[in-house]
Amino acid sequence: MRVLILGGDGYLGWPTAMAFANRNHEVCVVDNYLRRNLARQMDRGPLIDAPKLDDRVDIFKALSSHTISVAIGDCTDSTFLSDLVRRFEPDTIVHYAELPSAPYSMIGPAEARLTFENNLKSTFNVIWAILEHVPACHLIKLGTMGEYGTPNIDIEEGWIDVAHKGRSQRFLYPREAGSLYHTTKILDTDLLWFYVRAYGLRVTDLMQGPVYGLSTAEADLDSRLSPNFHYDDVFGTVVNRFLVQAAAGIPLTVYGAGNQIRGFLNIKDTIQCIELAAATPPAAGELRILNQFTELFSVNQLAAKVQQAARLTGLAVTMQHLPNPRLELEQHYYNAKNTGLIELGMEPNLMTEAVLAEMLQTVLRYRNCIDTAKIMPRVRWGRRQGPPPDVA
């Protein structure tokens, strides 16, 4: 296949590009370094500095003999993206080119506007680039389990059958996001559903839970090929934050009571899911929605797992409960379905103590690079008294 990966500099985009290239697909990655630049401007850089795309491509080619092409440009620029799609003629487009940070989207109006415009414009532009140049192309878009919120009923895979006053119909599952970022992902799904119905696009929308991990078959070739690893309060994930805190000898910061439940998956499974989706595209005029996670944990359970993994490396780690900076239910029902990808053949990599201990060993090698001032939450959601905090 010819595979175009939007957001190819990201935590998931770069490992996905290497995986497809390593399987002899023709791969082109696109990025404008937006998140990399924002992180630097806000002093929220990753734990391990990553080379830029041209350098990473050269390193990967030297080690694997596989070639990846690079296009530096902005997916919100419709002319740039349309021209690229016309020239490359992809069979599959993997759309990661969105700002994936709930805290960033909630800092203030400028950050909210940038998140909204970047995410919706990039999705709109890729839709029209496909319609104009490659109408049979399969679009794989990364959604998020955060679109669903925490409903008091089971979370189905994207769709729900509703019976009302003697009649019934299938609808997109009702969604209730907890941040502006997650709301933009809901709008993505609605936008895609309209164009699927109106123009016969073929789309897979993957509702992904929080991803963890640094190890993939290709990234393990050289540390310079590793995925980005952010642990800060804006661009970091809870797993990364806990591992860095364990390595730095400071308590794991649990927001609120810690009973929030989410679906997690290993980065190896993200790549596996993308590959399975690409290998089995939906029919023209179909929006296929798959819930992409392997295990459900509460934040407290996750913290306990990190504590157990730390013991394997001789570290004693404590927990600290903080007032929750987010507006979210902390006591809630959560039963999400994830059978679709299993039926396609996904073989889950589970979050064992050994897996977390291996990640922790990597973090410990860079312990001197940890900046503990980046960890504590400084972005608070709305409906609070007083001005927003300074997060510059």
Question: Confidence class of residue 387 from pLDDT cuts 50, 70 and 90?
Answer: very low
Query: What's the DSSP call for residue 327?
Result: -
Question: Confidence class of residue 382 from pLDDT cuts 50, 70 and 90?
Answer: confident
Residue 253 has pLDDT above 60, yes or no: yes
Note the pLDDT tens digit of each residue in 16-28. 999 999 999 999 9
Q: What is the pLDDT of residue 241?
A: 96
- Look at the chain and count its residues: 392
Note the pLDDT tens digit of each residue in 185-235. 999 999 999 999 999 999 999 999 999 999 999 999 999 999 999 999 999
Instruction: Tell me, letter by letter, the H, E, C secondary structure of 182-220.
Output: HHHHHHHHHHHHHHHHHHCCEEEEEEECCEECCCCCCHH
Q: How many CB atoms within 10 Å of residue 143?
A: 26
Question: Confidence class of residue 383 from pLDDT cuts 50, 70 and 90?
Answer: low
**196 is written with which tokens?**
């699927």
- How many CA within 13 A on the CB side of residue 152? 2
Catalytic positions, please? 144, 181, 185
Question: Confidence class of residue 388 from pLDDT cuts 50, 70 and 90?
Answer: very low
Domain ranges of the chain: 2-374
Can you spell out the DSSP letters for 25-87?
Answer: -EEEEEE--HHHHHHHHTT---SS----HHHHHHHHHHHH---EEEEE--TT-HHHHHHHHHH
Across the range 282-286, mean pLDDT stands at: 98
- The two beta strands, 295-298 and 261-266, are antiparallel
The superfamily in CATH containing domain 2-374 is NAD(P)-binding Rossmann-like Domain (3.40.50.720)
Query: What's the DSSP call for residue 387?
Result: P
Note the pLDDT tens digit of each residue in 310-360. 999 999 999 999 999 999 999 999 999 999 999 999 999 999 999 999 999
Task: Measure the CA–CA gap between 301 and 323, rounded to whole angstroms.
Answer: 18
> Is 2:25 a contact under the CB 8 Å cutoff?
yes
Question: 271: part of which helix (H) or strand (E)?
Answer: helix 267-279
What backbone torsions phi and psi does residue 4 show, to the nearest 5 degrees?
-105, 120
Quote the distance between the C-alpha of residue 18 and its chain's center.
17
Residue 50 has pLDDT above 80, yes or no: yes
Q: How many CB atoms within 10 Å of residue 370?
A: 19
Task: Measure the CA–CA gap between 144 and 149, rounded to whole angstroms.
Answer: 10
Note the pLDDT tens digit of each residue in 77-135. 999 999 999 999 999 999 999 999 999 999 999 999 999 999 999 999 999 999 999 99
Instruction: Output the average pLDDT for the chain.
Output: 96
**CB burial of residue 48 (10 Å; 0-12, 13-18, 19+):** middle
